[in-house]
Each structure stands twice: as C-alpha cells, then as structure tokens.
Chain A
Amino acid sequence: GENVEQHPSTLSVQEGDSAVIKCTYSDSASNYFPWYKQELGKRPQLIIDIRSNVGEKKDQRIAVTLNKTAKHFSLHITETQPEDSAVYFCAASNNGGNQFYFGTGTSLTVIP
C-alpha cells in the first residue's frame, strides 16, 4: 500500500518568513495530493490540493509543488502569520483505491 512520509515534524519560523513542508509517497498510482491544516482539537481543513497532471498550484500565500518522477510534493507558505500556526498534514490518494493516506504531520509555529 501507499506510504507517505512528511518532514519536518516540527517547524518554527519568524513572522513574515516562509515555511516549507515536504512529503514523499511510494505508490506511483497516487494522483491526488491534498494538504490539510488542523488546529488543536478541531477538524482538519483542506487548504490546497494538487493533481498529478499539474506541477504547481498557488492560492495567495500558499503553494504546492509536485514532482511525480521523484514522488514528492511540498507545501510552501509565504509571509507567514501567527494564525498559520497549526499542524499540517499531507495526503496521497488514487482513484482506484479511493483511499487517502496521511503523512505524520508538521507542527508549525509562527513566532510574532
């Protein structure tokens, strides 16, 4: 089955700096890669996603890149703000299996 690895597990950045979180996956059949933000005690919220036919996607301060050959994808947050502090999860999924496999999570802290 799919194995998703995520790094780093914790990340602290100064307000205004950029944050990058990286994930790798093992199943070449995976073709959908969402990123979720989870605040303490709350449900994960989808923040951005990318499909395998696209190499990069951007939504305001958030961007995701995908390298299918290397089987890795990354989340980029620019101009970080304290409210960006949360746990971020990457995930991988494929049409056939219809299952989502999550990375281990990254706890991001933005220092004011």
Chain B
Amino acid sequence: GAVVSQHPSWVICKSGTSVKIECRSLDFQATTMFWYRQFPKQSLMLMATSNEGSKATYEQGVEKDKFLINHASLTLSTLTVTSAHPEDSSFYICSAEPGGTNEKLFFGSGTQLSVL
C-alpha cells in the first residue's frame, strides 16, 4: 500500500520556539494532505486540510498563524508550530490521499511534540 512518512517522530522543544513537522508521500502524489492532533486516548481532531499550491483550509478554532501549513509539492506538506507553548504538546499526525479523489487515507507515523 501507499506509504506516508512523517518526521520527526518525537521532538522536545523550549517554550517560544518553533517546530516544523514534515509529511511526505513516498510512492504517490497527494494533492491533499490532512493534519490532525490527537490527545491521549482521544480521537483524531482534524486541524487543517493542506492543498498543494494553495492555502490550507483550517478547521474552526485552529489558529492559522499558530499552525503554519505549507504544501509546496505533490509529495510534501509541512506543519510548523510557531512559538510553541506547553499547551501545544500533543501527538500530531498527517494523512494523505492518493489521487485526491476520496480514495483511501494513509497516515504518517505521527509526531509527539513536548514543549517544556
């Protein structure tokens, strides 16, 4: 099946710094990628939909200036958590959709962010 690579898998940073997370589709082109946040023992919360070559679509309540998304190519989307604070600590996970036409979703391995 399709492979989605996400890096880093774990990052610890100081409060006030910015962290970039990468999501790559390794063997397919993804015009659409999705970014989620997941708290322990809770569901995936969609943060934003990343569209190649255009601005991301953010879900209600998600600060676009806080969570910067760049989808510069058909195989790479990045999420930058700017000026991270302890409350941003969470598991962030991306997914990509081959063909961008409501096909199956494939998930990255997730990034555990800990902000001190």
Which residues of A line the B interface, CB within 8 A?
6, 31-32, 34, 36, 41-46, 49, 87, 89, 91, 93-95, 98-105, 107
CA distance A36 to B46 in the complex (A): 15
CA distance A32 to B99 in the complex (A): 15
Given contacts A32-B102, A42-B109, A46-B105, is CB(A98)–CB(B46) below 8 Å? Answer: no
Residues of B close to A105: CB separation below 8 A: 41-43
Closest A residue to B93 by CB, please name it.
A43
B86 contacts partner chain A, Cβ-Cβ < 8 Å: no
Closest B residue to A10 by CB, please name it.
B41
List B72-116 residues whose CB lies under 8 Å from chain A: 93, 95, 97, 100-102, 104-110
Contact pick for A101, options B46, B93, B95, B110, CB 8 Å: B46
Contact pick for A43, options B32, B41, B97, B109, CB 8 Å: B109
Interface size class of B (residues with CB under 8 A): 20 to 34
Q: Are A89 and B43 in touch, CB under 8 angstroms? A: yes
Q: Are B43 and A103 in touch, CB under 8 angstroms? A: yes
Main secondary structure of the interface of A (DSSP, over half): strand
B12 contacts partner chain A, Cβ-Cβ < 8 Å: no
B49 contacts partner chain A, Cβ-Cβ < 8 Å: yes
Residues of A close to B32: CB separation below 8 A: 98
Q: Are B104 and A93 in touch, CB under 8 angstroms? A: no
Contact pick for B102, options A6, A43, A94, CB 8 Å: A94
Query: How near does chain A come to B100, taking the closest CB pair, in angstroms?
Result: 7
Closest A residue to B57 by CB, please name it.
A99
A-B contact pairs, 25 of them (CB 8 A): A6-B43, A31-B102, A34-B105, A41-B110, A42-B110, A43-B93, A43-B107, A43-B108, A43-B110, A44-B44, A45-B107, A46-B104, A46-B106, A49-B104, A89-B43, A89-B44, A98-B32, A98-B97, A99-B46, A100-B95, A102-B36, A102-B45, A103-B43, A104-B42, A105-B43
Q: Are A100 and B43 in touch, CB under 8 angstroms? A: no
Q: Are B109 and A99 in touch, CB under 8 angstroms? A: no
